[in-house]
Chains A and B, each alone.
Chain A
């Protein structure tokens, strides 16, 4: 144990040049108030740790003890003995020095660096010393702020360098841990995570419903499939029934047809042979008739072509010799006529007046004669004969004309016209002959001079005879010509055009040919007629045969026979149809016989069955829809990754929780590690200290308190096991507690920090009993720790049994 053995004060506050020798480990300074007790306490403290002059702010626990007398230097020295070693700490301050003063440390008379001393006391600082080693009214009051932390910090300080930093670190870790998790709390991460995990666990189990759901859906689906199969089966039955009924319905129709057709069946007598024969005969007949018709046609054609042959033609042809004679005669006459004509023409040229007369009628001639005579009378009257001649000719001509008109129309008309003209002319002359000579001349264009009426008349008669002759000739010629003309006319009538008479003979030749041809044709017709008759015979024969067949088959004609035939064919068809129907109905025939009359019932039944079919089909569709829906739902579930996702989310939360838990525990463990390390480094001082403190507290309270709890806050436990927070303790008890803890602490650190405990009037509130206890305690403690007590109480000083050092008011030691 290092002990403070000597205090030398040069100048310090009110104290000047004072020395104390401290012999025992328990020293008592006794002195009245203001005797310098506290100044001495301060001196010990300040020599060790510095004066900190006028520096209360940084070191409030350092009072300013500048010497009152303003003497220099300030300070003094402390002498510590540690076994054989002697440390002298001398701290002086003169103006200009550091406010802490200048410390010199000597070990056994040799000056040494101050660390030599301070390492011995574990480099503690002034605060440590004040808080732990000095007890006065001020420090005692701090009991309420005492905490485990503070106590521990001080105690660990002894074990590890920078223990306060380690403690900070420990607290840091603790804080980090509590940020991650608190026993009760919502906000720390782990607390939150735990909640989330609860929720997610619910989600996972909700997701696991998918399994049930799927299974249920599958179950439903299977049930529906079974139902569907059942419906399908019954549907098939109904369909079969429907099919049957439909067939039956068809069969009913067929049955009806069958019955109707059966009624239509007839037995018809019919001979195919006869029918064929009849057809053949009909055909033959047709052909024969055609042939006959052709013959008839041919016959008719020939007949038509041939026409009614004029039998007179033969007569005309027979006149051919006559015609030839007529032609010869005509030729002769014609030559004679020409000669006469020539003669007449000569006469006309030489006797024109005669010719003028010639054309006059009897009257005209008479008139002429009269006129002539008159003119002759006047101018020898001259010939009137001519006029008469003219009239005669006119009349002749008219007569001739009229006569001829019987024969040949155009010529007769011409002749009549001429005759009429002549008559007219005569008439005109009669009325015009007025002025006799002139008039005569004008009238007859005859000059009386040249005209001799008689002569003229003679001449005229001659001419007339010649003319007569010519006329006769003419007449013969006419007659011949008329004969010929007659023949020509006949030919014309027979259809031959005869342009001239000369054509008659050749035409007659032609006619002869034609007659020959006609006769030939007539012969041919007769042949045809023969053939016709033959055909008619054949036709008759066939017709008879045919009629026989018809009669036999009771038909009128082939048409009827064909109708019969068709009917037979129809019946045959019908028979086949009936047979087919019968065949197809065969199996159902009996049933149909019964059903057919009750078709309404049947229809009703069919309707029912059809309804049933529709219902079943609807059921099936419905089931199929339901199954499809279920399958879709199942597919959706089968595609869902919900289970995995939720599980994964939970797993993620859990790994997060795991990771955070590791963090949390690592923080806690680190804090714990530091704490344990500090405990170990401090050699287990803390628990030991607590143990002592408990004992001391029990002792100081006379056993009223049994225990202490040193956690974040300090609590005390009474002998009746009641627990109190220290703020509820009485002042005395709390001071006792403070002593107990502090003394226990100093005791524990004494082996490392061997500095004196300074108790400065700390027991003022202690009653005698308690003071006794504390004295007892301090006495015991002084074996381990130097204790220096400053008190004004003499009885206390006495009770401590040692000789007390007296402090006078002047601050001098007695």
Chain B
């Protein structure tokens, strides 16, 4: 038996950090989500897989665009027309009322656990290999319950597959996405547990196999690397499975580091950055670059690098039609100050450059907008604030020093 485990297509989902792109380029990129999904379906048909699992968040919201709905139906139709069993669940983003969805009416299509209760569906492959899929769909935004605990015990004599859209229980924060512990899932001892929700592909356990397939197409710089689906090939006699990753995303996000160790002319800087990216490039990518040692930049260079012009200019030098979409400057840890001041600044850095201090500073801003408040809680956000603060201050202190000296 061969099956595909796919998740988090997030059709309709916007891309982040590309607003400066010319619309022609952006149009291409925005189609990649559908292309990636379609490639998965192509693969399923070409390789004649037995089962196509969709582990939730196919749509980005409970108000998917008709366009995306029609797209999904077309793709599902292709699968069922080729007699490929599709088992789909809904996640925390697409917890739609199934009655309001455009789906296919076929014995080859199953929307599992529509009432947010775990449902077990039994199937057979063409070679009469029997398998059962246990899972549920979201009907509301959040599920705080431990759903893993409600999964049935393994059905003997059949190949057992778990299908769930959920996040591992965290020590801190809200556990609102059907929180589970790995040991719970391991104890179920299903032959395969297909998870959705986390966009980063990961195999949580080899024995038994428990995996997130990750999302289908990276949409921002924090969804880096190849994206696609997991292919599971089962030895029907031993029920041993091989999991492999098949990349389908037409475009990947990547991040590179660039260490600046001396002052460079702007043109050299651009050349070197482009060369660095081209050296690391494997396929068409959207790049972010982190430039360390920003102290070596002149103010003019630093300013230029913050402009979208810099992105365009460097992008023109990239292979594979790739684009540089973000430049992040990082200052050295130490500010260039005299020793006594240095000590004070270092001490102050400890006091000031931390999350709680930054959030305190941002209080009045956070009050303005919930989304903003949530975003500010994000460690990445805080890190970016820290980093930018260092760059800014470093740059200014450097000027100050230059003035004095």
A residues in contact (CB < 8 Å) with B: 159-162, 165-166, 169, 172-173, 181, 183, 190, 194, 197, 205, 207-215, 218, 634, 637-644, 647-648, 650-652, 654-658, 661-670, 672-674, 676-681
> Which residues from chain A contact B391 at a C-beta distance below 8 Å?
666
Give me 5 A-to-B residue pairs in the complex whose CB atoms sit less than 8 angstroms apart, sorted by A's number. A159-B341, A662-B385, A664-B365, A666-B385, A680-B347
Cross-chain contact of B61 among A208, A212, A656 (Cβ < 8 A): A208
Residues of B close to A665: CB separation below 8 A: 358, 361-362, 365, 376, 385, 389
Query: Which of B17, B369, B404 meets A194, CB within 8 Å?
Result: B369
Per-position binary interface string of chain B over residues 49-70, scored 1 when its CB falls under 8 Å from any chain A CB and 0 otherwise: 0000000000011111111111
Q: Is the CB of A658 within 8 A of B69?
A: no
Contact with A along B25-40 (1 / 0, CB 8 A): 0000010000000000
A162 touches B400 (CB 8 A): yes
**Which of B12, B64, B361, B375 lies in contact with A658, CB distance below 8 A?**
B375
Q: Is the CB of A669 within 8 A of B389?
A: yes
For chain B residues 1-50, which have a beta carbon within 8 Å of chain A?
12-17, 19, 30
Cβ contact of A669, chosen from B19, B102, B353, cutoff 8 A: B353
Nearest B residue to A163, CB-CB: B341
CA distance A255 to B100 in the complex (A): 60
The answer to whether A661 and B362 have CB atoms under 8 Å apart is yes
Please provide the chain B residues from 362 to 404 with a CB less than 8 Å away from any CB of chain A in the complex.
362, 364-365, 368-369, 371-372, 375-376, 381, 384-386, 388-389, 391-393, 396-397, 400, 403-404
In the bound assembly, the distance between CA atoms of A214 and B64 in angstroms comes to 10
Instruction: Knowing that A160-B340, A665-B358, A665-B361 touch, tell me 13 more A-B residue pairs with CB under 8 angstroms.
Output: A159-B340, A165-B400, A211-B100, A647-B12, A647-B13, A651-B14, A666-B391, A669-B357, A670-B396, A673-B393, A676-B352, A679-B348, A681-B344
Contact A162 B404 (CB under 8 A): yes
Which residues of B143-180 are within 8 A (CB) of A?
Answer: none
User: Do residues B362 and A644 form an inter-chain contact, with CB atoms below 8 A?
Assistant: no
Contact B12–A214 (Cβ < 8 Å): no
A677 with B345: in contact, given A665-B365, A669-B358 (CB under 8 Å)? yes
Q: Which of B189-239 contact A (CB under 8 A)?
A: none
- Residue B107 at the chain A interface, CB threshold 8 Å: no
Look across to chain A and name the residue whose beta carbon is closest to the beta carbon of B368. Answer: A194
Q: Which 10 A-B pairs have the closest CB atoms?
A: A208-B63, A643-B65, A651-B14, A681-B344, A676-B348, A214-B66, A652-B19, A666-B388, A677-B348, A648-B14
State the Cβ distance, A256 to closest chain B Cβ, in Å.
56
Min Cβ gap A653→B in Å is: 8
Q: Is the CB of A197 within 8 A of B369?
A: yes
Taken together as a complex, chains A and B put the C-alpha atoms of A805 and B60 apart, in Å, by 87
Contact B365 A667 (CB under 8 A): no
Quick one: given A161-B338, A211-B63, A644-B14, are A669 and B375 in contact (CB under 8 Å)? Answer: no
Interface SS majority for chain B: helix
For the complex formed, measure the closest distance between the CB of A180 and the CB atoms of chain B, giving whole angstroms: 9
CB < 8 Å neighbour of A652 from B14, B351, B384: B14
Q: How many angstroms between the C-alpha atoms of A219 and B404 in the bound complex? A: 75
Select from chain A the residue with minimum beta-carbon distance to B367. A183
Q: In the complex, what residues of B have CB within 8 A of residue A644's CB? A: 12, 14, 30, 65, 67-68
Q: Which of A643, A648, A668 contacts B15 (CB 8 A)?
A: A648
- Report the Cα distance A194→B384, complex, angstroms: 20
Taking the nearest CB of chain B, how far is it from the CB of A186, in angstroms? 13
Q: What are the residues of chain A within 8 A of B100 when measuring CB–CB?
A: 211, 215
CB neighbours of A681 from chain B (8 A): 340-341, 343-344
Q: Check: B349 CB closer than 8 A to any chain A CB.
A: yes
Residues of A within 8 A of B343 (CB): 680-681
Q: Which residues of B contact A657 (CB under 8 A)?
A: 369, 372
Smallest CB–CB gap between B265 and chain A, Å?
27
Q: Which residue of A lies closest to B13 (CB)?
A: A647
CA distance A667 to B61 in the complex (A): 35
Contact A647 B69 (CB under 8 A): no
Contact B361 A673 (CB under 8 A): no
Whose C-beta in chain A lies nearest to the C-beta of B20?
A: A652
Among residues of B, the one whose C-beta sits closest to the C-beta of A646 is B14
Least CB distance from B270 to A in Å reads 22
Which chain B residue shows the least CB distance to A214?
Answer: B66
**What is the chain A residue whose CB lies nearest that of B64?**
A211
Q: Which of B16, B17, B375, B389 has a CB less than 8 Å from the CB of A673?
A: B389
B400 contact set on A, CB distance < 8 A: 162, 165-166, 169
Give residues in B with beta carbon < 8 Å to A: 12-17, 19, 30, 60-70, 100, 102, 338, 340-341, 343-345, 347-349, 351-353, 357-358, 361-362, 364-365, 368-369, 371-372, 375-376, 381, 384-386, 388-389, 391-393, 396-397, 400, 403-404
A215 surroundings in chain B (CB, below 8 A):
100
CB A120 to nearest CB in B, in angstroms, measures: 16
In the assembled complex, the CB of A209 is this many whole angstroms from the nearest CB of chain B, namely 8
Report how far A214 CA is from B391 CA in the complex, Å: 50
Q: Which residue of B lies closest to A176 (CB)?
A: B392
**For residue B66, which residues in chain A have a CB less than 8 angstroms away from its CB?**
210-211, 213-214, 634, 637-638, 640
Q: Kindly list chain A residues whose C-beta atoms are within 8 Å of the C-beta of B372.
A: 194, 657, 661
Contact of B30 among A172, A648, A663 (CB under 8 A): A648
Whole-angstrom distance between the alpha carbons of A211 and B403 in the complex? 61
Q: How far is the CA of A183 from the CA of B368 in the complex (A)?
A: 8
B368 close to A666 (CB less than 8 A):
no
If A677-B341, A680-B344 touch, whether A214 touches B385 (CB-CB below 8 Å) is no
Inside 8 A of A638's CB, which chain B residues have their CB? 66-67, 69-70
Residues of B within 8 Å of A672, CB to CB, are 352, 357, 361
Bound form: Cα–Cα A719–B157 in Å? 85
Partner of A654, one of B12, B361, B371, B393: B371
Partner of A161, one of B14, B61, B341: B341
For A160, the chain B residues whose CB sits under 8 A away are 340-341, 344
**Minimum CB–CB distance for B393 against chain A, Å:** 4
Task: Say which residue of A172, A214, A648, A676 sits within 8 Å of B351 (CB atoms).
Answer: A676
B67 touches A666 (CB 8 A): no
Q: Which residues of B contact A162 (CB under 8 A)?
A: 400, 404
Least distance between A814 CB and chain B CB atoms (Å): 47
Out of B61, B345, B365, name the residue touching A661 (CB < 8 Å).
Answer: B365
CB proximity of A520 to chain B, nearest CB, Å = 115
Question: Hey, which chain B residues are within 8 Å of A194, CB to CB?
Answer: 368-369, 372
Residue ID in chain B nearest A190 by CB atoms? B365
Q: How far is the CA of A384 from the CA of B258 in the complex (A)?
A: 196
Q: Which of B19, B69, B344 contacts A159 (CB 8 A)?
A: B344
Residues from chain A with Cβ under 8 Å of B397 in the complex: 169
Minimum distance in angstroms from B27 CB to a CB of chain A: 9
Contact A658 B381 (CB under 8 A): yes
B68: chain A residues within 8 A (beta carbon): 643-644
Q: How far is the CA of A654 from the CA of B386 in the complex (A)?
A: 20
List chain A residues, Cβ under 8 A from B17. 655
Does A678 lie within 8 Å of B344, measured CB to CB?
yes
Residue numbers in A under 8 Å from B69 (CB-CB):
211, 214, 638
Which residue of the partner chain A has the closest CB to B369? A194
Residues of B within 8 A of A640 (CB): 65-67
Whether A647 lies near B385 (C-beta < 8 A) is no
> Given contacts A181-B365, A665-B365, A677-B348, are A169 and B396 in contact (CB under 8 A)?
yes
- A165 to B401: give the CA distance in the assembly, Å: 11
Complex alpha-carbon distance, A271 and B9, angstroms: 99
Chain A residues whose C-beta falls within 8 Å of the C-beta of B15 in the assembled complex: 648, 651
A668 to B386, CA, bound (A): 11
What are the residues of chain A within 8 A of B386 when measuring CB–CB?
669
* Contact among B16, B67, B102, B338 for A651, CB-based, below 8 A: B16
Q: Which of chain B's residues have a CB closer than 8 A to the CB of A673?
A: 345, 348-349, 352-353, 389, 393
Chain B residue nearest to A682 (CB atoms) is B344
Residues of B within 8 A of A169 (CB): 396-397, 400
> Which residues of A are found within 8 Å of B384, using beta-carbon distances?
662
In whole angstroms, how far apart are the Cα atoms of A634 and B30 in the complex? 22
For A654, the chain B residues whose CB sits under 8 A away are 371
Q: What is the bound-complex CA distance between A218 and B60, given in angstroms? A: 21
CA–CA, A681 and B365, complex, Å: 30
